[in-house]
Chains A and B, each alone.
Chain A
Amino acid sequence: MSTTSQTQNLTLVQAVRDGLYTEMSADEDVIVMGEDVGKNGGVFRATEGLWEEFGDDRVIDTPLAESGIVGTAVGMAAYGLKPVPEMQFSGFMYPAFDQIVSHVARLRNRSRGRFTCPMVIRAPYGGGIRAPEHHSESKEAFYAHEAGLKVVIPSTPHDTKGLLISAIRDPDPVIFLEPKLIYRAFRGDVPEAEYTVPIGEAVTRREGSDVSVFTYGAMSRPTMEAAEELAEEGVDCEVIDLRTISPLDRDAIISSFKKTGRAVVVNEAPKTGSIAAEITAIVQEEALLYQEAPVKRVSGFDVPYPLYALEDYYLPNAARIKEGIMETVEF
Chain B
Amino acid sequence: MVSIDIETEDGQKEALRRMMLIRSFDDTAGTLFADGEIPGFVHLYIGEEGVGVGACAALEPDDYITSTHRGHGHCIAKGLEPQSMMAELYGKRDGYCNGKGGSMHIADVDAGMLGANGIVGAGPPLATGAALSAAQKDEDRVALAFFGDGAVAQGQVHEAINLAATWDLPAIFLVENNQFGEGTPVEKQHNLENLSETAEAYDIPGFTIDGMDITAVYEAVQEARERARNGDGPTFIEADTYRFRGHFEGDQQPYREDDDIQEWQSRCPIDSFASRLVDAGVMTDDEVESLRAEVDEEIAAAAEYAQNADEPDPTEAYDDMYAVSVPELTMFAGRSVRADGGSPTNTDQ
Contacts and interface: CB of A to CB of B under 8 A. Distances in A.
A79 interface: no
Contacts of A208: none
Contacts of A272: 328
Given A130-B39, A313-B346, A324-B347, A39 B183 contact: yes
Nearest to A65: B153
B155 A307 contact: no
Given A132-B101, A301-B346, A301-B349, A313 B155 contact: no
B121 A64 contact: yes
A63 B190 contact: yes
Contacts of B119: 91-92, 94-95, 134
Interface residues of A, number: 42
Contact of B40 (A39, A132, A301, A310): A132
Q: Which of B184, B255, B321, B332 has most chain A Cβ within 10 Å?
A: B184
A65 B41 CA distance: 21
B345 A308 contact: no
A306 B100 contact: yes
Given A302-B328, A320-B345, A131 B182 contact: no
A314 B317 contact: yes
Contacts of B181: 35, 63-64
For this complex, into which size category does the number of interface residues on chain B fall? 35 or more
A310 B41 CA distance: 17
Nearest to B36: A130
Contact of A301 (B154, B190, B332): B332
B112 interface: no
Contact of B317 (A63, A298, A303): A303
Q: Which of B40, B104, B181, B345 has most chain A Cβ within 10 Å?
A: B40
Interface string A268-312: 000110000000000000000000000001110111001111100
Contacts of B311: 309
B102 A132 contact: yes
Interface string B92-109: 100000011110110000
B44 interface: no
A223 B198 CA distance: 52
Contacts of A133: 105, 118
Contacts, number: 131
A34 to B, nearest CB: 11
B99 A309 contact: yes
Contacts of B316: 310
Contacts of A309: 91-92, 99, 311-312
B151 interface: yes
B120 interface: yes
A324 B346 CA distance: 10
Given A307-B101, A320-B345, A64 B321 contact: no
25 contacts: A35-B181, A36-B182, A39-B183, A39-B255, A40-B254, A61-B188, A63-B150, A63-B153, A64-B120, A64-B121, A94-B119, A95-B119, A130-B39, A131-B39, A132-B102, A132-B118, A135-B118, A307-B40, A308-B90, A310-B312, A313-B346, A314-B317, A314-B346, A320-B346, A324-B347
Given A132-B105, A313-B336, 14 more contacts: A36-B183, A43-B182, A64-B154, A65-B153, A132-B118, A133-B118, A272-B328, A301-B318, A307-B101, A307-B102, A308-B91, A310-B312, A310-B316, A313-B346
Interface of B: 39-41, 90-92, 99-102, 104-105, 118-121, 150-151, 153-156, 181-184, 188-190, 254-255, 311-312, 314, 316-318, 321, 328-329, 332, 336, 344-347, 349
Closest 10 pairs (CB-CB, A-B): A308-B91, A130-B39, A63-B153, A40-B183, A131-B40, A64-B150, A63-B189, A309-B311, A323-B347, A65-B153
Interface of A: 35-36, 39-40, 43, 61, 63-65, 67-68, 91-92, 94-95, 129-135, 271-272, 297-299, 301-303, 306-310, 313-314, 319-320, 323-324, 327
